């Protein structure tokens, strides 16, 4: 029997063939993603909900005051300093600048995740994990809403710390260890949820195949524990131990239905059926099936590592397990942003295992490889469709908030001293995005150096992107001077989103 020459026999391992997917190729993918979202949402971004309060706090306080003060029950000085820099560059009239910074941080996070997994000997699995995280259809709120920069910056510095730690494990250079500890310290002062990684990073130190002497390992673990303990001590003095704006964290967790909430996070990650364009809702079912198949493959082929990543997913959710997202919407999905890294790694184990089969394989091996290729395509395609649909929803949210603020402020300026009754101030969308809080109006008027003198009564409403006729009454708020309740009352009914731009003119 004649055989093909070795050099032309296509039995090369799939992973070897995709080794050309170098960081440059991944960087190109990230660049395309960034440019697309910058066009889709960056040009339309408008400050919504807590955005104005965040800018007001950052711009109205000195660096020294930010570094030693708790604001609204949080102590996150590093993110506030970043926002302060953004306010210098973008002010109130260039909202797009803030969201472009958010998209940049998210892109860097995806690059770091890819680089970390490459260093941990993932190949095509690293490319898949980075691309899947880049799309993040389960946590779009994180990079579509400026107020989520706390999560983005904390994730960026945590991933950077992990990357520097891996460099140190390979090089033994002290500067890499110092950078790892400093990055993690920055993550803590960006958002307190990073505290949970003080358990994850030592596990990474111990798990790495290149074992260091016990003394060096103990020193490195201690180096991470010191800033974690220091941050907790400072936060306890400023905020109170286990306190948050929502109440005592221990009580919140104790009273929560943890199993139900954990299931909500798992479903938010695995079910995109209600976050797809209507014509492609069936793709959401295929997406869930592919996730289950790859997870089963990972559990079968590398059970210890896969189970560990799933346990770390539960651990990473512990600071926010007292609340739960709605899988059909985007509200609170920012809480899933960093924890989702662990199930992504578990899925990427299944992807890599499936695609490691020889190109010319037979029988079940060939079926597994072809199924792996199809499943990978389904996951990334479904994620891209869902993220693009959610981008359209958020763009509608920006425009709705923009129109509402313009309508109210222009009416207030034209009717000084009158009591304004806003009949349908858009509070949020049923699909998740937040819209306008009444105090946003005061912040905008102040920012434009044209304060309003009106008493404003706001009847808030919940709208729907997919059902324009839906209008659900929400809360009522009153703000501004007490005014003359028997004086002129001007009713305001917010119309459909206008295409006007918010400009610093009266």
| Residues 263-318 pLDDT 10s | 999 999 999 988 988 888 788 889 999 999 999 999 998 998 899 899 999 999 98
- How does DSSP classify residue 213? P
Instruction: Rank 46-60, 270-284, 408-422, 452-466 by mean pLDDT and report only the highest.
Output: 46-60
Over 90: is that where the pLDDT of 46 sits?
yes
247-248 and 243-244 beta bridge pairing: antiparallel
Tell which wins on pLDDT, 31 or 14.
31
Residue 14: the pLDDT is 45
Over 80: is that where the pLDDT of 491 sits?
no
Write out the two tokens for 466.
């997919």
Residue 201: the pLDDT is 72
Integer Cα distance of 255 and 249 in angstroms? 10
Residue 360: the pLDDT is 47
CA angle (104, 102, 115) in 5-degree steps: 45
Contact 452, 409 (CB under 8 A): yes
Residue 372: the pLDDT is 81
Residue 81: the pLDDT is 96
Residue 496: the pLDDT is 63
Tell which wins on pLDDT, 451 or 428.
428
Question: What angle, 0 to 180 degrees and rounded to 10, lies between the N-to-C axes of helices 341-355 and 303-317?
Answer: 160
Longest dimension (CA), the chain: 102
Write out the two tokens for 18.
């995709």
Tell which wins on pLDDT, 257 or 468.
257
Integer Cα distance of 304 and 113 in angstroms? 21
Residue 424: the pLDDT is 87
Phi, psi of 400 (to 5 degrees): -65, -45
Tell which wins on pLDDT, 25 or 204.
25
Selection from 196, 101, 87 nearest residue 148 by Cα: 101
Over 50: is that where the pLDDT of 171 sits?
yes
pLDDT digits (tens, 9 = 90+) for 246-257: 777 788 888 888
Write out the two tokens for 363.
């029988």
Q: Place 485 in a pLDDT band, splitting at 50, 70 and 90.
A: low
Selection from 479, 406, 412 nearest residue 439 by Cα: 479
Helix (H, G, I), strand (E, B) or coil at 497: coil
Three-state secondary structure string covering 223-284: HHHHHHHHHHHHHHHHCCCCEECCEEHHHHHHCCCHHHHHHHHHHHHHCCHHHCCHHHHHHH
Residue 503: the pLDDT is 41
* 124-157 as b/e: b if 16+ CB within 10 A: bbbbbbbbbbbbbbbbbbbbbbbbbbbbbbbbbb
The residues with which 463 forms a beta bridge, in sequence order, are: 429
Integer Cα distance of 24 and 36 in angstroms? 18
Contact 319, 195 (CB under 8 A): yes
Over 90: is that where the pLDDT of 470 sits?
no
Q: Provide mean pLDDT across the span 185-200.
A: 90
pLDDT digits (tens, 9 = 90+) for 364-418: 667 777 788 888 999 999 999 999 999 999 999 999 999 899 888 888 888 887 8
What's the chain's average pLDDT?
84
Over 70: is that where the pLDDT of 193 sits?
yes
Residues 6+ apart with CB under 8 A from 76: 150, 189, 190, 191, 192
Write out the two tokens for 70.
């708790």
pLDDT digits (tens, 9 = 90+) for 205-237: 666 545 556 666 777 788 888 999 999 899 888
Least confident among 8-12, 254-258, 355-359, 414-418: 8-12
Over 50: is that where the pLDDT of 430 sits?
yes
Q: Provide mean pLDDT across the span 337-364.
A: 82
Residue 2: the pLDDT is 39
Residue 494: the pLDDT is 77
Residue 156: the pLDDT is 97
């Amino acid at each position: 029997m004649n055989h093909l020459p070795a050099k032309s026999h296509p039995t090369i391992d799939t992973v070897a063939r995709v080794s050309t997917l170098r960081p440059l190729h991944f960087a190109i993918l990230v660049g395309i993603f960034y440019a697309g979202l910058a066009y889709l949402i960056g040009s339309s971004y408008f400050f919504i909900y807590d955005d104005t309060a965040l800018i007001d706090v950052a711009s109205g306080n000195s660096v020294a005051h930010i570094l030693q003060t708790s604001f609204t029950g949080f102590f996150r000085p590093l993110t506030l300093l970043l926002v302060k820099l953004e306010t210098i560059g973008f002010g109130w009239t260039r909202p797009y600048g803030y969201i472009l910074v958010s998209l940049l941080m998210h892109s860097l996070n995806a690059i770091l995740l890819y680089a970390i997994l490459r260093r941990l000997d993932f190949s095509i699995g690293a490319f898949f994990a980075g691309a899947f995280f880049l799309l993040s259809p389960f946590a779009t709120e994180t990079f579509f809403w400026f107020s989520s920069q706390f999560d983005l910056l904390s994730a960026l510095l945590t991933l950077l710390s992990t990357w520097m730690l891996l460099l140190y494990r390979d090089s033994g250079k002290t500067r890499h260890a110092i950078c790892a500890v400093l990055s993690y310290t920055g993550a803590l002062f960006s958002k307190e949820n990073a505290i949970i990684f003080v358990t994850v990073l030592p596990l990474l130190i111990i798990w790495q195949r290149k074992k260091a002497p016990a003394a060096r390992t103990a020193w490195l673990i201690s180096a991470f524990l010191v800033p974690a303990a220091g941050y907790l001590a400072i936060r306890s003095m400023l905020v109170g131990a286990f306190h948050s704006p929502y109440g005592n964290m221990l009580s919140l967790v104790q009273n929560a239905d943890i199993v139900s909430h954990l299931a909500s996070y798992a479903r938010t990650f695995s079910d995109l059926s209600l976050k797809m364009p209507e014509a492609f809702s069936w793709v959401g079912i295929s997406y869930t099936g592919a996730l289950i198949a790859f997870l089963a493959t990972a559990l079968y082929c590398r059970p210890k590592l896969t189970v560990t990543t799933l346990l770390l997913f539960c651990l990473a959710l512990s600071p926010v397990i007292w609340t739960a997202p709605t899988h059909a919407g985007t509200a609170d999905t920012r809480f899933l942003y960093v924890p989702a890294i662990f199930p992504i790694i578990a899925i990427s184990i299944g992807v890599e295992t499936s695609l490691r089969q020889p190109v010319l394989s037979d029988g079940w091996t060939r079926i597994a490889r072809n199924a792996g290729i199809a499943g990978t395509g389904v996951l990334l395609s479904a994620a891209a469709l869902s993220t693009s649909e959610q981008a359209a929803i958020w763009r509608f949210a920006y425009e709705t908030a923009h129109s509402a603020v313009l309508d109210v402020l222009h009416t207030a300026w034209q009717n000084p001293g009158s009591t304004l009754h806003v009949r349908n101030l858009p509070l949020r969308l049923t699909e998740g995005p937040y819209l306008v809080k009444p105090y946003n109006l005061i912040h905008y008027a102040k920012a434009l150096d044209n304060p309003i003198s009106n008493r404003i009564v706001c009847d808030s409403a919940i709208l729907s992107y997919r059902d324009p006729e839906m209008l659900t009454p929400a809360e009522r708020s009153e703000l501004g001077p007490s005014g003359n309740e028997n004086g002129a009352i001007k009713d305001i009914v917010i119309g459909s989103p206008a295409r006007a731009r918010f400009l610093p003119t009266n």
